[in-house]
Amino acid sequence: MGNIFSFSTTPSDLLSLIQGCGSSALDVYLTFTNKVALLATPQPRPPSIGRLLNNESIAVSSVGKELTPGDARYTTIHDGVSHHPLGAGSYIFKTDYAKALLTYLNLYPKTEDATDQRPFNRPRPRKLIVHIGAQPNNSPHAGTMITFALGFIIARKIQRRYCDMGGDTGKLPPLTVSVSLDLVDTAPDSKKTIEKDGIAYQRSHRNTNAMAEFLPDYSELLERLSTFTNNEVQYTCTRQADLLKSKHIPKVLDVILADHVRIGRELGPESNRIALRAACPVEGCGIAEKHGKLNQYHYGDGIPTVTFNCLHHGPHTSSLVPAHIEKFELNTPLRNLVRGVANMLDTIETQGDVDGEERYHLRVTGGDYAGIYQEQLFYRQINCLMKAVFPQCSQLPLPVICYAPLLTDWSGAKLSKSLYVKEGAYAYLEEQNKDYLLSYSRMKEMGKDPRVIFREVESWVEDPRRLFRNYSVEYFTRLFEQADEPDVHPVAAPVALPLPYSPRNIVNSRQ
């Protein structure tokens, strides 16, 4: 680093000073607030050392703004070394994550030559569905793209790993792995949420169709990921009605409703209710009570019924019959539990089906759902429901979930699509032309290549210890900058040698 000095100035004076230095003087990083500037003066540098600042013109134009105290901007100077310390998951799964997943899915052979299907005298085809999900209330942002990419790339990795074990030589039953994007069209349309007397009412995307604007971006992204994975991974797209129409849902809901008081306390500790909803059937209304606080459950004639409440039209009743269930709406924890248990039942049933295929399910979701969320809202509930749902099953195919690293802001918080959509957060990213991370449509407008994200996620799957941590906006903007700068040479790591999958200029240290 060259000389560093700081002083108080106004933004316009600072701009004049910088402009007076000439453009060649700005091959350095700049940080400022509305009052204090820290300017590192340039030093001759060898061409192999990456520039700390690539986008000086953006920084300068920002300085030129008359900033108020609330608009203060900050930055951090770092060494570009990205560490991947081993611990917990990264320690256990650092070399062969795919084998571990196949083991947990019961697809990894228990013996050298057994297919584990001897009772059927012939190998039956196996199908693994890798589920990814989204609430399509905006064009997908980079965090969502990371999760989607992980779904496709893990699917391909598992498929290849299985083939290596004998899946393509007849030693093991044939396995096909596909990705299913499960769209949560029952998520609330935030513009249609109303609160009255402490009760929240909403209309869902399914009802308002507000998501129609964004669905083409999701379709395009899936197609690009399929292409990126050499079309080795097929994909499908489902809506909530597809889930709710599936065979095992009535039984799962039946068991949950029978225990809804306890489950409501644990899944909704603020409302003490399960958030089961149904849109008002009155033409043109479609309002549903958000938290299920007013729901009443009846068990009179063998088939449970639920009385829901509309803000304008009062109570309406649905039974646990397929035609009604298809119209139900479930909040995230309840949906997570219902589909998880339904998938377990699907796997159990197909393992006993002589003529059909065996089906297995794997979920890939964001890392913010790891930890107490799944432990208490999911696995704890499965344990509680086990006797009622799986009376004959001694060994349950417990759900297997892969968590995608989060894309975090400067403070370590998840980059939030909702905050961006609802409250205009991250203005500083727009000022620096980095808002392409906030939406796929913006990424396309700015000519940024989403394969930068795909390749990075691919490197995590090849070196799995990188999967068990989060990544900052700065990390990803650096990757995009490198992709835009083909003349930047790789940097010799100051403290460690780069790894085989290292992106240029972000140096990945060993522990």
Q: Which residues make up the interface to Zn ion (CB under 5 A)?
A: 280, 282, 285, 287, 310, 312-313
Whole-number minimum distance, CB 98 to Zn ion, in Å? 49
Residue with tokens 């995307």: 205
Give CA separation, 119 vs 337, 350, 352, in Å.
32, 14, 10
Whole-number minimum distance, CB 310 to Zn ion, in Å? 3
Query: Cα Rg for the chain, rounded, in angstroms?
Result: 26
| Dihedral angle of Cα 314, 315, 316, 319, to the nearest 10 degrees | 160
In the bound state with Zn ion, the residue whose beta carbon lies nearer, of 200 and 386, is 200
In the bound state with Zn ion, the residue whose beta carbon lies nearer, of 200 and 370, is 200
Tokens of 314: 């009062």
Distance CA 395, CA 58 (A): 59
In the bound state with Zn ion, the residue whose beta carbon lies nearer, of 39 and 280, is 280
Distance CA 267, CA 274 (A): 7
Count of CB atoms situated within 10 Å of the CB of 274: 29
Distance CA 506, CA 492 (A): 10
Whole-number minimum distance, CB 304 to Zn ion, in Å? 23
Beta strands in 351-482 (DSSP E): 358-366, 400-404, 407-408, 471-472
In the bound state with Zn ion, the residue whose beta carbon lies nearer, of 138 and 318, is 318
Whole-number minimum distance, CB 199 to Zn ion, in Å? 14
Give CA separation, 505 vs 201, 458, 486, in Å.
50, 18, 11
Whole-number minimum distance, CB 183 to Zn ion, in Å? 25
In the bound state with Zn ion, the residue whose beta carbon lies nearer, of 155 and 310, is 310
Whole-number minimum distance, CB 284 to Zn ion, in Å? 9
In the bound state with Zn ion, the residue whose beta carbon lies nearer, of 316 and 442, is 316
Q: Rounded to the nearest 10 degrees, what angle do helices 249-258 and 380-389 cross at?
A: 110
Whole-number minimum distance, CB 201 to Zn ion, in Å? 9
Whole-number minimum distance, CB 335 to Zn ion, in Å? 23
* Type of residue numbered 244: L
In the bound state with Zn ion, the residue whose beta carbon lies nearer, of 138 and 202, is 202
In the bound state with Zn ion, the residue whose beta carbon lies nearer, of 221 and 287, is 287
Three-class SS of 390-403 = CCCCCCCCCCEEEE
Angle among Cα 139, 140, 144 to the nearest 5 degrees reads: 170
